[in-house]
Structures are given as C-alpha cells and as structure tokens.
Chains A and B, each alone.
Chain A
Amino acid sequence: MKATRVFQLTALALVVVAAVQVGWWLFDQRTNAMERVQAERILYSRQVGAAQVMLESGVSAERVRQLLPGVAVAGSKATLSPTVDEMLLNEAHRRINQYAWEGAFFLLALAVCIGVIARALKAEAKVIQEQDNFLALVSHQFKTPLASLQLSLETMALRTLSPDQARTLIDRMLSDLGRMEAMVTQILESVRLERGRVDLRREPLDLSGAVTRVVAQFEERARKDNITITADIARGLYVLTDPLALDVVVRNLLENAIAAISPVGGGTIAFVARRTESEIELAVRDSGVGFRPADGVRLFEKFTRLHPGGGSSYYGTGLGLFIVRRLMQLAGGRVSAHSEGVGQGARFVLTWPVAPAEPS
C-alpha cells in the first residue's frame, strides 16, 4: 500500500514538472517565433538600405527589383515590399499557432494524468479512512458486550448472589453472547455485501408467504415483549428477489421494530403491502420510539445506532438496516424510513419493481 502511494506521488510530481516544462516550452517557442520575425525584418531592412544605395548610384529600378525581390521601388525610393511584410507576419502566426495547438494538447494530456492520479490518491485516502473507522467501530461494538460478559462473570466470582440475581446475570450473559454472535454474522454479511461478493437469485416470491414465515418465528418474543404483530398482505403479490435476501430484509426490519418498541414497554407492528402501477410496496409500521425525521437517511448507514430516547435499538449492531438497504439495492428495489419524530413511531417502506412474469 505504501509503495503504491510513493509511486503515485512520484508520478504526480513528474507529471506536474512535465506540465510546467511544457508551459515553459510554449512560452519560449512563442518568444522565439517573434524574435525570428524581428531578425528577418532586420535582414530585409538591410536589403532595402542596399537597394537605396544601388538606386542612388544609378542602377535601374528594374535591375534592383530583379536583384532584391523583397524590395519595392517607387520612383527613386526603395521600401520593403508589403507582401514580404505580410509573409513574415503570417509565418510567425503559423508557428505560434502550431506551438499553441501542440502545447495545449500536451498540457491537456498532462492535466488528465494529474486528475487521474489525484483522484486515485483521494480515493485511497478515503478507503483508508473508512477502514480505520470500521475497525474503530467494530472494536467498540465487540468490546462493549465483552466488557459486559466479563463484568457479569467477575460479579458472580466476587459476590455471593441469590438465585434470582444469578439468573439475571446468566440471562444478561446469554444476551451478550447473542449480541456478539449476531454481530459476527452481520459484519460478515455486510462486508460480503459491500464487496459485491454475493450471488443473489432472482425469482418471483410470494410476499405474503415470506412475511408470514418470518412473523411466525418472532411470535413468542413479541408476546413476551407485549407486542402485537399484524400482517395485511393480499395473496398474489410477487416480488422478484432472492428468497434468503427477502427473509433477511423482513427479519431485520422486524427486529428493528421490536427494538424500537421495547423501550416503551409494548405496542404494535403492522405489515401492509400494496401494488402500485409498476411497484410492490411493503410497509412496516411500528408504534415504537421513532426518530427525528432528519435521521431517516442516516439510519441506513453502517453502525448508526440512534439513542432509545431518539431512535431505535439499544442492542442493535448498527448493521441491520445497512444490510437491508444493500440487499434491496441488489434486488433492484429500495427502502426508506419515515417518522413524525421521537415518540411518534416509525414506518419503513420496501419497494420492489413488479415481477415481470408472475406465476399464476
């Protein structure tokens, strides 16, 4: 990485020096062309002087014109022929013109090179910055449940606990382990999605069936958290996507909704689907903590975890919605988040293009 950077910087420096040299060459050639015109003018003015002397010493005007074709004779006076003067100026302009075009072409080529190298350098700096941020965030995300695990274990080792207290600590530890496991899965998934190393199938899937399957898996947890989940999806709505990707998308949105409701002690989650002219829309509405409308876009960025007071999950990895967005993009669809504000609940809308050939 470092060697490449040194190479890029050296190339950039060389190209900049070359551009300066071309600029200087251009200026030099222009001066040179003007100087040549000047020198030729001096030569011609000497010819005019000689012609004048010849005329004065009795040589005929005809003879003078023959000997010095660049000189015009009017009576007994010799002057520079206007055609020669024009020729000299034309020659100078022709040269300057040629240098200007050649120089401009070289300068343009060099400017493109500078642009390409500078862009590569900038892109590389951005990648390094992103990697640093990613590592910092990942380490933070892992260290927190690790610290909690260690704290629970050391508490058990240090203190005499009642069975209830021990049970609380064990539940806490199991939950921390679950968090770490979810994080590993999601980090791997998000890296895979980000690098584009995914091979998604595209097949028409019944939205109602997919949602019902996921909802069924969450029923017990929802009951425990005092959450009612409803799904109002007509049969026969098909979307063109990968079955696993659809499952992950719905699951992540459902987990997000449950996490948003947990801090308020219960509520409702409603899945509603509809078909517009060219799209299929699946909306997930929850009565949870909501978020500031301005955070609607930030939510889908990696490692965004809004505070329960103003957003979503306590325990989220900050990757769930990022994965949802990426999977939707890969399926040719999109996702958006809406909330009237903190405490107002939230609505996530998934949109797919209508499957061209829906099975009957």
Chain B
Amino acid sequence: MSDLPPQANRVLVVEDDPHLAAGVVENLRAEGYETHSVTDGRQALDWLGAEHVGLIVLDVMLPEVDGFTVCRTLRAQGNNTPVLFLTARGDPADRVRGLEAGGDDYLAKPFHLQEFLLRVRAILRRWDCIGALPPPRRPRYCTSAVMRWISGPSGPAPGTA
C-alpha cells in the first residue's frame, strides 16, 4: 500500500440515482468536503484501488456489485475506510447486515439532510484526533492509527494492515 496521507476531507459517494447523488455531493461540497461520485459497486472498488478517502457514502442496491459486497470486499482487502450506508432498505435486519458487512453507520432513505451531514462530520472527526499525533508508521487508516495511539509509541503493532 502507498504512503498517501489520510484523506480526512474526502468523501466517495456511491449512488446509482443521479438526483440523489447530485444532492448529496452538492451538500457535502457546501460543507467543504472534497467529493468523488461513482454509480456502481464495481466502479467504487476500482476507484478505491487507487484512491484514498476519509469516508465512503454507500448505497446498497447498486448495479454490478451491491453495497454490502463492496463493503465486505474492502474489509477483506484490509481497507478500513469508514463506510456510511445510505439506503432504502431500512429494516433492522438490513441494518444488521450492513453493520456485519463492515459498515460504520447506516442511514435509511429518505433521510434528513442535517442528520446525514452530522453523521458524516462525526465519522470524519476521528481523523482530527490523528492530526496532532506524530505520523504513524502505517498512516493509511484511522482505526489502526487510533490503536497505535492507545497502545503508545512503543506498543505492539496492531493487527490491521
């Protein structure tokens, strides 16, 4: 993996509905986030193979590869970028599936804009805690950096890759 710094300000929006994608992207930009948008799961995985973001806003019912599979694939690849599921499937069983697939948060459509923006901010705030720290040896993922911070500079290397 490359030594790119964490892109705490960057959000990938994976949504196949162009109106919704445009609305989400415009609002995230208005909040000062840098965004990139793709319309299916395969594109998301391809793009994330080369790029780094602080958060992925992921729809579930996507063409090609569905959102749950995208998230599971990322986790299997050792990519721990936070994932916020944004989907029409809002019943508890689906939420559990999403969180089990490795999602960090779950928001059912239709959703409230402010709640969405606050959740995004809450997830990305974790990057701020790393800002004041000396650069971690493997700086790519927030969770591994936090683990290192907890275990101290001479602590054992966490298992995340």
* Cβ-defined contact, A147 with B113, below 8 A: no
* Cβ-defined contact, A176 with B19, below 8 A: yes
A310 to B40, CA, bound (A): 11
A143 to B111, CA, bound (A): 10
B3-32 CB contact bits vs A (8 Å, 1 = yes)? 000000000000011111011101100100
* Cβ-defined contact, B18 with A155, below 8 A: no
* Cβ-defined contact, B26 with A307, below 8 A: no
Q: Which residues from 290 to 347 on chain A have a C-beta closer than 8 Å to any C-beta of chain B?
A: 305-310, 314
A175 to B17, CA, bound (A): 12
Q: Which residues from 86 to 131 on chain B have a C-beta closer than 8 Å to any C-beta of chain A?
A: 88-89, 109-114
Does B61 count as interface, using CB distance less than 8 angstroms?
yes
Given the complex, which residues of A lie within 8 Å of B110, measured CB to CB? 143, 146-147, 149-151
* Cβ-defined contact, A158 with B19, below 8 A: no
CB B87 to nearest CB in A, in angstroms, measures: 8
* Cβ-defined contact, A158 with B88, below 8 A: no
A57-73 CB contact bits vs B (8 Å, 1 = yes)? 00000000000000000
A98 to B27, CA, bound (A): 85
Does B49 count as interface, using CB distance less than 8 angstroms?
no
Residue on A nearest B59 in the bound complex, by CB: A144
Does A81 count as interface, using CB distance less than 8 angstroms?
no
* Cβ-defined contact, B112 with A154, below 8 A: yes
Does A360 count as interface, using CB distance less than 8 angstroms?
no
Does B158 count as interface, using CB distance less than 8 angstroms?
no
A139 to B91, CA, bound (A): 12
* Cβ-defined contact, B23 with A152, below 8 A: yes
Does A235 count as interface, using CB distance less than 8 angstroms?
no
* Cβ-defined contact, A154 with B114, below 8 A: yes
CB B112 to nearest CB in A, in angstroms, measures: 7
* Cβ-defined contact, B19 with A143, below 8 A: no
* Cβ-defined contact, B113 with A175, below 8 A: no
Q: Which residues from 126 to 182 on chain A have a C-beta closer than 8 Å to any C-beta of chain B?
A: 136, 139-140, 143-152, 154-155, 158-159, 172, 175-176
A113-129 CB contact bits vs B (8 Å, 1 = yes)? 00000000000000000
B28-68 CB contact bits vs A (8 Å, 1 = yes)? 00100000000110000000000000000000010110000
Residue on B nearest A179 in the bound complex, by CB: B19
* Cβ-defined contact, B64 with A307, below 8 A: yes
Q: Name the residue among A139, A148, A307 with the largest chain B CB count within 10 angstroms.
A: A148
* Cβ-defined contact, A147 with B88, below 8 A: yes
Given the known interface contacts A145-B19, A175-B19, the answer about A309 and B89 at a Cβ–Cβ threshold of 8 Å is no
* Cβ-defined contact, B114 with A309, below 8 A: no
Q: Which residues from 264 to 301 on chain A have a C-beta closer than 8 Å to any C-beta of chain B?
A: none
* Cβ-defined contact, B88 with A143, below 8 A: yes
Q: Name the residue among A136, A146, A147, A149 with the largest chain B CB count within 10 angstroms.
A: A147
Given the complex, which residues of B lie within 8 Å of A158, measured CB to CB? 113-114
* Cβ-defined contact, A172 with B23, below 8 A: yes
A14 to B101, CA, bound (A): 44
Out of A150, A155, A305, name the residue touching B26 (CB < 8 Å): A155
Residue on B nearest A139 in the bound complex, by CB: B88
A sample of 9 more A-B contacts (CB under 8 A), given A145-B19, A147-B20, A308-B39, is A143-B88, A144-B17, A149-B110, A151-B20, A151-B24, A152-B19, A155-B23, A307-B16, A307-B40
Interchain residue pairs with CB less than 8 A apart (15): A139-B88, A143-B109, A143-B110, A144-B109, A146-B109, A147-B109, A147-B111, A148-B19, A149-B110, A151-B27, A151-B110, A154-B112, A155-B23, A172-B23, A310-B63
